[in-house]
Structure 1
């Protein structure tokens, strides 16, 4: 027996479930896709490949700040740079941060300290799209102190980050 409207409703419900499942699976895949490669340090031949989930598993810190590249104040979430390097047990003097387009900046290891920059993977709770400077962006707590609002520090805030090479 067919009840008027039930079949179209059931079909719509079924399609909605498929879309929702694909969306959830897609997000899980994004979190598991490698986004950062770390090389160098005391083991130059060793390479660490990390996904957003790997970064989340190390530690998550939020920085609420404005930037010279965005409008207003935003909440950036990411792993503190010093915590990431400690977790991987890499040491050196300089961090060569490299973007997807091979642009690179040198960040002194002394910047990688508590209260310093994070490797941000989210802005206002959402993944950072490539078109919006993602998937990773080194963010300093610019609003916290004038020492973070200098040309030098701004130049170290590399976006579309995908590699860190630790130089001895």
Structure 2
């Protein structure tokens, strides 16, 4: 075997070891990385950076529902939007929800209530991958009431959520 062949094999094994290490540690790393920025509310300089673990530590609620974007009924797990805003003590009348691609929707503060939407971070017990509308997705309990099955509510169910700006 030539020196170049040995070098190539060694390089391949080294890269494989790095990938294996990242895959093993990936879940814990991902849970600790900030996935949501919340700004506004009390003042323009107020900002919170939250990881999935931070969201889980605030509260976890499950909504079992179908959606117009998925097949069948799924269990979505996340922090209730009401509880998140209450926990951060942010005030305002409108929640501007912004996705990774800068798509934005305005959600009235009145939607953030008990029995309202959650900021979902898991579907059927698994983290929501970016390619499947994750890492965060605002989910309403669509199957619980016709009030949640309107074009307006569907438009507020923003996926790939990464920012909330609370407007006075």
* Shared fold (TM-score, shorter chain, > 0.5): yes
- Give 1:79's aligned residue: 79
Residues 24-103 of structure 1 aligned to structure 2 (within 5 Å): 24-103=24-103
Aligned to 1:123: 123
Instruction: State the secondary structure of the residue aligned to 1:91.
Output: coil
Deviation at 1:25, TM superposition (A): 1.7
After superposing on structure 2, the runs of 4+ consecutive aligned residues of structure 1 that deviate more than 3 Å are 21-24
User: Shift in Å at residue 22 of structure 1?
Assistant: 5.0
Q: What is the CA-CA distance between 1:103 and the residue it aligns to? A: 0.3
Shift of 1:23: 3.9
1:12 aligned residue: none
State the partner residue of 1:113. Answer: 113
Which residue does 1:144 correspond to in 2?
144
**Separation (CA, whole Å) in 1 of partners of 2:91 and 2:74:** 31
Unaligned runs of 5+ in 2: 1-18
Q: Return the alpha-carbon distance in structure 1 between the equivalents of residues 28 and 63 of structure 2.
A: 24
Secondary structure at the aligned position of 2:71 is classed as coil
Query: Number of residues paired by the alignment?
Result: 152
Structure 1 CA distance for aligned equivalents of residues 88 and 42 of structure 2: 11
RMSD between superposed Cα atoms in Å: 1.6
Q: Equivalent residue for 1:9? A: none
What are the ranges of 5 or more consecutive residues in structure 1 without an aligned counterpart?
A: 1-17
Q: How many Å separate the matches in 1 of 2:82 and 2:132?
A: 24
Instruction: Return the alpha-carbon distance in structure 2 between the equivalents of residues 44 and 78 of structure 1.
Output: 26
| TM-score scaled by length of structure 2 | 0.87
